[in-house]
Each structure stands twice: as C-alpha cells, then as structure tokens.
Structure 1
C-alpha cells in the first residue's frame, strides 16, 4: 500500500492515480478514501491526477488513539501534500473532510492550492452555542457517541438511512451504497471514530474560513439531515470571500454517491472555470 508516516509515527494510507493537475479528496466521518470512488474514476478519465487518503484512525491508516482532532488532521493533510510535492492543487472535502480542508487552509495557507470545494461540510460550527444559535444541541452528538460506544455496527447500519435520504417517502434505496458505507466505517478504529465526533461537532472554523483567499465552491443539499444547511453551507459561503454557493434542492448529505452525475458535472465546471 502507498503510505506516508507522520511525525508522530502514524501511517496515512493514500491513493494517487493519474497525471495532470492534482485533485485531493478528503472524506467524511467515519469513512475512507473509498467514499470518493465515483469522483476519482470520473476525474481520472478527465485527465486529472486524483489523490485521496484515509484520515488517521479511519480505513487503512493507523488506528490511532491520539491526534484525533482537527489540527492534527490538517497537519496530516499538509504532510501528504508536502510528501507528494503537490502544487496548484484543488482540495475537495465532504462533511468532516470539509472541516479538514478548511483547517488545512487556515493553518497552512494556500501556497500549494488553486481552488477549494466544501461539500455538505461541517464548518463553520455544528454545535449550538450562545454565539451559534442555529447549531445542533449537544444531545445530538452525545447520541452519536452513545451509538458508537454501545453498538457501532448497528448504529453505522442505521445512520445510512438519513445520510442518503433513504428515510424519505419515495426514496429509491441502494443496499449496495448502504453496505459500502458500513464496510468503510467498520474498517476504522472505534477510539478514533469516537474522538472524531467531538472534532467535527465542536471545532469552530470561523477564522479559518475568513483566511481562505482562493476560489471556493460551497455545495450543499437543502435536505441534508446530517449537516443541516442553515448553520453550515449558507454561513460558510458568507464567511469565505468571493465564495460561490450551490444549493441542491431535495438532495441528501451523501449526494456525491446518490447523484454523482450532478455533483461531478458541477465540480468539473468549477475546476475548469
């Protein structure tokens, strides 16, 4: 397998296919680089170099018990881009991966980066606070922690329904997509997944978003039941100077898998634009 080793000894697995301008994909919780299958195959055929890694504690990377927070995730991404000497890269992050990309840009700058895309992403802050009244109450995230700790396998199977909008009337359910999500989740380490809940829900990315000085596309489904659009995509698009916002009526959190043709076409238009 292709891996890099970070300064704390963690092995980060990655895929690196093709030649051309690099597109780097950062996945959501608790998944892996495999969640980008539809996008990597598409952009590889379009002549791009496509790269995706398994976040520490996820997929085929080390099952870490430390460093499962956004600063370290961002540093791991920086270590990967440095090891591969990426330049003029496009960074695409979904959900927690959107937080990872945002913190990477805020913490390490945009010297190596041409454009950024945040898809159903967690910034600026998921948790409801006095300063962020539109966020979700802590009880929501405590419930996720309880589900992971008590019966992770069952919880991961059940969460695929709202994740892909399969709990909506008339939804066409793909059991293959659901099983693919479950398999990716169960490959990772429970300690890292448990810690990551705090990372994606309680990290405030407001100042990171304000630092982004490259063309940025914010993509969000307005029926996202995992990361509701009101306190995430809509606010992020306002905080990033010059950001372009694309709202998808009726689409779920996992729209990259349920509607890849729509998402890939819009990604391509933005990257080429």
Structure 2
C-alpha cells in the first residue's frame, strides 16, 4: 500500500480522476460563473462554486468543511479542461442552517437540486468522507441518468461506527466546539501537520464556519447511518482513493 497522507490523497486525486475520465475538448480554465446559490427543494439557498467549461466534475465535501476544501482539485480540473462545481452543504460554509434536513435523503436531494438547476449531464461525482454516502444515496434516489462515473475519496466503511466513539466526539462539541474541532484538524491534514501551520488554520477556519447544529447532526449522521444499504445503487465506473495514513475512515 502507498504510504501517503490525507492531504496528498486529496491533492493528487484529480490526476487519478482525469486519467480515467479524459479531458474535455473545450476548455476555458479562467471562466468562473457567478451563480451565488441554487435553491434546495425546501428553499435553503445552497452556496455554489462553478468554474471553467467542459465535462462537469461535481465535488462533495467532507463533514464540517465546505466547498473551499476543493480549491486545489477544482483548479486542477479547470486546468485539465473540465467544468468544476462544488457547493456548501446546508449549515456549512456560506449555506445557511435551516435547522432541518440533516439526513442523507435530504442531502442527496440537495445534490439533485444543483445538478438539475445547472442541467449537468455526464457528470463525474467526487465525494470525500460523508460526501461519498451522499453520492450513493443520490444514485439510489435519483438514478444515474446524469452521472457517468464516481470517485470516492476516503469513503466511510460499509457499516456504521456510532456508540461510544460517537459519544466521545459529540460531548466536547457541546462544551468547547473550537477546542474539539482544533483536535480534529489532524484527521484532515495528516499527523505531521503542525496545528499552527497555515494549512491547519485554513481547515480550522472552515470547521468554525459550520453551524453548531450542522456540525453535531452531520457527525451523528456520518457515524450512525451505514453506507452498505445504498452501495448497490452505485452502478457506474467508480474509483476508490484511500491513503495509507488515513486516520478518518
């Protein structure tokens, strides 16, 4: 197994993606569309990034982060002649917290709202961590008509963890959310990343943009709901990317 850390996995995933997907024939790497948000089915405005032109690649972010985590893969995607799209999950980043909808069915429907609003077809869906389960749930609920392939980066195992492990994460979030999230940064940057490094601080800043409710409820969702029931819906070519030092999944 390659002995690589999480940050390396995320930054090199685009190269693996384009090796399997190929580049689009039309490209305008610098063309960023200003589409501030797409309304979810319940009216929640989903903050959106939409860069470049060509074959669409849609990125689904990890727990407690937001679309900003995909800055470097999205840049690589547009450089390779693809259209790169990402949005902030409800309660994350610049998408407001509606106080509801923290279940995989609703989150998958949010993804459907984005694909339909932009009328994206032949999409490569890229998910990180719980974003992978959102993608699989989307395929179960909405089918593969708009999707050509999938990339799962650091996907959860098929079965839920939950139990005492979940309690150990949730309790500190209720009493010292900044401290608890600071302790979680290394799960995303790798154990060798110093807490005061610019990369670690960038990740922490994204954590702290996530609402307290969304942080807790999405953690509960990610750890209590197994991926196994929706895996059968993934019937498109799929690339699995994991790092040898992955401490999260």
Q: 1:144 aligns with which of 169, 176, 193?
A: 169
- Structure-2 separation of matches of 1:70 and 1:149: 23
Q: Is the 8 A contact 2:49 2:85 kept in 1?
A: yes
2:31 equivalent in structure 1: none
2:155 equivalent in structure 1: 121
- Structure-2 separation of matches of 1:218 and 1:62: 31
- Structure-1 separation of matches of 2:79 and 2:187: 31
SS of 2:86 mapped into structure 1? strand
1:21 equivalent in structure 2: 55
Shift of 1:162: 3.7
Q: Give the TM-score normalised by the residue count of structure 2.
A: 0.82
Q: How many residues align?
A: 214
What do the CA deviations read for 1:214-260 (whole angstroms, capped 9, x no partner)?
A: 10011112322211xxxxxxxxxxxxxxxxxxxxxxxxxxxxxxxxx
2:90 equivalent in structure 1: 56
Q: Does 1:158 align with 2:158?
A: no
Q: 2:233 aligns with which of 211, 229, 233?
A: 211
- Structure-1 separation of matches of 2:143 and 2:202: 34
- Structure-1 separation of matches of 2:75 and 2:105: 30
**Structure 1 gaps, min length 5:** 128-136, 228-273
Q: Give the TM-score normalised by the residue count of structure 1.
A: 0.75
2:37 equivalent in structure 1: 3
Q: Which has the higher contact order (CA 8 A, sep 6+)?
A: 2
**Structure 2 gaps, min length 5:** 1-34
Shift of 1:3: 0.4
- Matches of residues 232-247 of structure 1 in structure 2 within 5 Å? none
2:219 equivalent in structure 1: 197
- Matches of residues 30-41 of structure 1 in structure 2 within 5 Å? 30-41=64-75
- Matches of residues 87-102 of structure 1 in structure 2 within 5 Å? 87-102=121-136
